[in-house]
Chain A
Amino acid sequence: MHILLVEDDDRVAAALRPALHRHGMTTTRLSVGRGAVDHLADVDVVLLDLGLPDIDGVDVCRAIREVSEVPIIVVSARGEVDDRILGLHSGADDYLVKPYDIGELVARVHTVYRRSRVGPSATADVVQVADVSVDLQRHTVTVGGEPVSLTRKEFQVLAMLASSGGAVCTRNRIVAEVWGRTWAGANRTLDVHVATLRTKLGRADLVQTVRGVGYRLGLPGAEDG
Chain B
Amino acid sequence: MRGRLLLIIMVLVGLLAAGLGIPLALSNAQADQSRMFTDRLTDTVYYASLAERALVDDDPTGLADELKRYDSVYGVAVTVLGRDGKQVASSRDPAPTLDADGRNRVALALANRRSDPYDLRFPWDTRPLVLAEPVLVDSEVRGATVTVSPTDDLRAGEIKVWSLVAAAGLLALALAVLVALPIVRWILRPVRRLDEGTGRVAAAVLAGANAEPVADGTGPPELRQLSESFDRMAETVTQAYSAQRTFVADASHQLRNPLTALRLRLSNLDGHVDPSGTEDQVAALEEAERLSTLLDGLLALARAERTNPLVTVDVDAGVADRIEAWRPLAEHTGLRLERTGTPALRALGPAGVIETVLDAVLDNAVKFSPPGTTIDVDTRAGDGHVEVAVRDHGPGMAPDDLERATHRFWRSPEQSNVEGSGLGLAIAARTTEVAGGELRLELPESGGLRVVARLRAADGDADRDGVAWEQTAGRARKSVPGH
Give chain A's interface residues, CB within 8 Å of chain B: 9, 11-12, 14-16, 18-19, 22, 51, 77-80, 98-103, 153, 179, 183-185, 188-189, 192-193, 195-196, 211-212
What is the CA–CA distance of A179 and B355 in the complex, to the nearest angstrom? Answer: 14
Q: Mark B262-276, 1 if CB is under 8 A from A, else 0.
A: 111101100000000
- Mostly helix, strand, loop or mixed at chain B's interface? helix
Shortest Cβ distance from B363 into A: residue? A184
Within 8 A of A (CB), among B230-263: 253-254, 256-263
Q: Which of B6-14, B198-206, B281-289, B461-469 is near enough to bind chain A?
A: B281-289
Residues in A whose Cβ lies below 8 Å from that of B299: 79-80
Interface size range of chain B in the complex: 35 or more
Cross-chain contact B332 with A195 (CB below 8 angstroms):
yes
**Given A98-B259, A212-B282, A212-B285, A189:B328 Cβ within 8 A:** yes
Shortest CB-to-CB span from B419 to chain A, Å, is: 9
What is the CA–CA distance of A211 and B286 in the complex, to the nearest angstrom? Answer: 10
- Mostly helix, strand, loop or mixed at chain A's interface? helix
Cross-chain contact A183 with B359 (CB below 8 angstroms):
yes
Shortest CB-to-CB span from A187 to chain B, Å, is: 10
Q: Mark B301-313, 1 if CB is under 8 A from A, else 0.
A: 0010000000000
Residues in A whose Cβ lies below 8 Å from that of B263: 99-102
What is the CA–CA distance of A11 and B282 in the complex, to the nearest angstrom? Answer: 21
**Given A12-B257, A12-B261, A102:B363 Cβ within 8 A:** no
Cross-chain contact A15 with B264 (CB below 8 angstroms):
yes
Q: Does chain A have a CB within 8 A of B296?
A: yes
Shortest CB-to-CB span from A16 to chain B, Å, is: 5
What is the CA–CA distance of A192 and B329 in the complex, to the nearest angstrom? Answer: 6
Shortest CB-to-CB span from A174 to chain B, Å, is: 14
Shortest CB-to-CB span from B181 to chain A, Å, is: 53
Known: A15-B260, A19-B267, A77-B254. 7 other contacts (CB 8 A): A78-B253, A79-B299, A80-B299, A99-B260, A99-B288, A153-B328, A185-B329
Shortest Cβ distance from B360 into A: residue? A184
Shortest CB-to-CB span from B448 to chain A, Å, is: 19
CB contact between A16 and one of B253, B264, B366 (< 8 Å): that residue: B264
List 18 A-B pairs, Cβ < 8 Å: A12-B260, A15-B260, A15-B262, A15-B264, A15-B268, A16-B264, A19-B268, A51-B253, A77-B253, A78-B253, A99-B288, A101-B263, A102-B267, A185-B362, A192-B328, A192-B332, A195-B332, A212-B286
Give chain B's interface residues, CB within 8 Å of chain A: 253-254, 256-265, 267-268, 282, 285-286, 288-289, 292, 296, 299, 303, 325-326, 328-329, 332, 355, 359-360, 362-363, 366, 420, 424
Residues in B whose Cβ lies below 8 Å from that of A192: 328-329, 332
Residues in B whose Cβ lies below 8 Å from that of A9: 257, 260-261
Cross-chain contact B420 with A184 (CB below 8 angstroms):
yes
Residues in A whose Cβ lies below 8 Å from that of B366: 185
**Given A80-B303, A185-B359, A101:B267 Cβ within 8 A:** yes
